[in-house]
Amino acid sequence: MLFVAEDMGYAFSKLEIESGDDSSTDEPVGCPWLDRKLDFSDHDIAQLTKLQSGPHENLSRVLPGRRQFPVSTTKMLAGREANLSGRGRFSSGDCRHVLSKYLPVNGPWVVDQMSTRAYVSQFSADGSLFVAAFQGSQIRIYDVDGGWKVQKNIRARSLRWTITDTSLSPDQRRLVYASMSPIIHIVNAGSATRESLANITEIHDGLDFSSPDDGGYSFGIFSVKFSTDGQEVVAGSSNGNIYVYDLEAKKLSLRISAHMSDVNTVCFADESGHLIYSGSDDNFCKVWDRRCFTAKGKPAGILVGHLEGITFVDSRGDGRYLISNGKDQAIKLWDVRKMSSNAAYYRGYRDYEWDYRWMDYPLHARKLQHPYDQSVATYKGHSVLRTLIRCYFSPEYSTGQKYIYTGSHDSCIYIYDLVSGAQVEKLQYHRSTVRDCSWHPNYPILVSSSWDGEVVKWEFPGKGLAPVSPIA
């Protein structure tokens, strides 16, 4: 359901409507469908979220010692004009408080329609480009600022089954793509060649991640990510390994025997590149510190709490917090300061036979909880079936990372409030599984890709207008 303030043309989040602008409490809205209450208002991340996306206290005060939350945009604008903050302008927290109210829920509008499943949706770091990858060996780069025209149409080389992941370099000049093969390919994304047909119109260099020790076993790459400086890529594979490839030296710089099962997802934790997060079908998230890495491949820590395999991890970018999507139909929020030193914890148990690739998750299993759950919070409502569905923190610039969003097997996109756990929005349009979605880093635009072959955008204000920041 969409909630629209027609006089402004803005789409409010459901949480904003239900709580109301005149509420006098700072308490978050609860989430009745969670198996355990989210109550961590004193936790550091809750305080950080308030600092990043909360208004100045003078703009939210209605009486001495009493604050009003949430604060309406109208009252904040009036407070700015009266210079209640003493700055004469909005702070970054004030800006985010305004922007985070207006979610990308209008539409959607079709960006592209293909005859094969869409697997990947990714905005570039600055939001000027968008990458979509499809099962039928096709990757497209769209010029967002140029009306979403196809800037580059890439035909993948040596594809096995599907394109499992792509990553665009921070300078947007190179794109890497992976499939169920030990070779990752790299394309010159900044060239003038529009039709990039592998090794015919353009060279797609191969980065070989295999070694003689593999004994001829051909593994696949599930996840690949550029480092912030663009000099390395990290990858997770079906043989339980994590790899780091040095692009300047043109060789593997690190190979870790990391997990007991498929490594479905990896990412760098922050800009330093020292920390790596990984998630696997062995139910564990692990943290790897390259500064103190030993030959035995011991992780810096292990995060225990999922009852089934992990499909995706996303870092908050601060080297401390991350979220993970799990086949136990839950997203978990983690604080690496709470990680354990070994995996000698209860792994969970099954009193049922289940394969997520073709079976529904057992109803009674949804009520199970890990007895040694180390996560800060758990978010439920979406479904994680058939494929490695992804989840993310919302952008820092426009929302202060106060939301978590994810695709879902039920063809929808879910947006949760980070602190309260409330389901803020459920976007419905697609006719099949939504594997991936991406929120524009600056504007309230969200793009989803589905197994129905469609890539669509949801936006605000949603009347075909160019997005404009409300901050003057």
278-332 pLDDT, tens digit each = 999 999 999 999 988 765 678 999 999 999 999 999 999 999 999 999 999 999 9
* Omega before residue 212 within 30° of 0, cis: no
Which tokens belong to 200? Answer: 């015919």
- 226: β partners: 233
Asked which of 49, 68, 99 is the last residue of a domain, the reply is 99
pLDDT band (50, 70, 90) for residue 134: very high
- The span from the CA of 460 to the CA of 315, in Å, is 26
Confidence of residue 456 (pLDDT cuts 50, 70, 90): very high
3-state SS assignment for residue 291:
helix
Whether 471 is in a domain gets the answer no
- The dihedral built from the CA positions of residue 437, 171, 209 and 246, taken in this order, carries a sign that is negative
Return d(Cα 97, Cα 78) in angstroms, integer. 15
Which residues pair with residue 303 across a beta bridge?
Answer: 285
- The rounded distance, in Å, linking the Cα atoms of 134 and 117 is 6
Same domain for 223 and 186? yes
Report the candidate in 276, 280, 374 with the shortest Cα–Cα distance to residue 319: 276
CA distances from 288 to 28, 69, 260, 356 (A): 34, 39, 15, 28
Does residue 412 form part of some domain? yes
The reply to whether 326 and 384 lie within a common domain is: yes
Residues 265, 411: one domain? Answer: yes
Which helix or strand (DSSP H or E) is residue 47 part of? helix 44-53
- Find the helix packing angle between 44-53 and 92-99, rounded to 10°: 90
pLDDT given at position 378: 96
**CB contact burial 262-271 (16+ within 10 A = b; e otherwise):** bbbbbbbbee
pLDDT at 87: 62
Phi-psi region of 148 (alpha: psi -120 to 50; beta: other; left: phi over 0): left
Q: Is residue 281 part of a domain?
A: yes
Does residue 302 share a domain with residue 277?
Answer: yes
How much is the pLDDT for 55? 60
User: CA 331 from chain center: how many Å?
Assistant: 11
Give the 3-state secondary structure of residue 408. Answer: coil
pLDDT at 470: 38
- CATH code, domain with 309: 2.130.10.10
Q: Is the pLDDT of residue 195 over 70?
A: yes
Boundary of a domain, candidates 71, 99, 127: 99
Give the angle 414-259-404 at the CA atoms, nearest 5°. Answer: 15
Q: Are residues 136 and 52 located together in one domain of the fold?
A: no
Q: Are residues 241 and 293 in the same domain?
A: yes
Residues 396 and 247 in one domain: yes
- Looking at every residue in the chain, the average pLDDT score rounds to 84
* Residues 177, 187: Cα–Cα separation, whole Å: 8
- Exposure class string for 120-158: b at 16+ Cβ within 10 A, else e: bbbbbeebbbbbbbbbbbbbbbbebeeebeebbebbbbe
pLDDT one-digit tens code per residue, 414-435: 999 999 999 999 999 999 999 9
Same structural domain, 299 and 445: yes
- Nearest of 440, 457, 306, 438 to residue 380 by alpha carbon: 306
**Residue range(s) defining the domain that contains residue 394:** 111-459
- Does 36 map to a domain? yes
- pLDDT band of residue 251 (cuts 50, 70, 90) is very high
Q: Does a structural domain hold residue 239?
A: yes
Contacts of 403 (CB under 8 A, 6+ apart): 100, 103, 393, 394, 415, 416, 417, 418, 424
- Residues 22-79: tens digit of each pLDDT: 333 333 333 433 444 455 655 888 888 877 766 655 555 544 444 555 666 666 666 5
Predicted TM-score (pTM) of the model is 0.86
Q: Is 65 part of a structural domain of the chain? A: yes
Q: Is the pLDDT of residue 83 over 80?
A: no
Answer whether residue 464 is part of any domain: no
According to DSSP, residue 452 is labeled: T
Assess if residue 23 is contained within a domain: yes
Domain boundary among 41, 71, 99: 99
Distance from C-alpha of 466 to C-alpha of 460, rounded to nearest angstrom: 9
Q: How far apart are CA 432 and CA 117, in angstroms?
A: 9
Residue with tokens 């799990």: 326
Percent of the chain with pLDDT over 90: 66
Q: Indicate if 409 and 296 belong to the same structural domain.
A: yes
Share of the chain above pLDDT 70, in %: 76
Q: Is 84 helix (H, G, I), strand (E, B) or coil?
A: coil
Same domain flag for 361 and 292: yes
Asked if 82 and 207 sit in the same domain, the reply is no
| In a shared domain, residues 414 and 333 | yes
Q: How many domains does the structure of the chain reveal?
A: 2
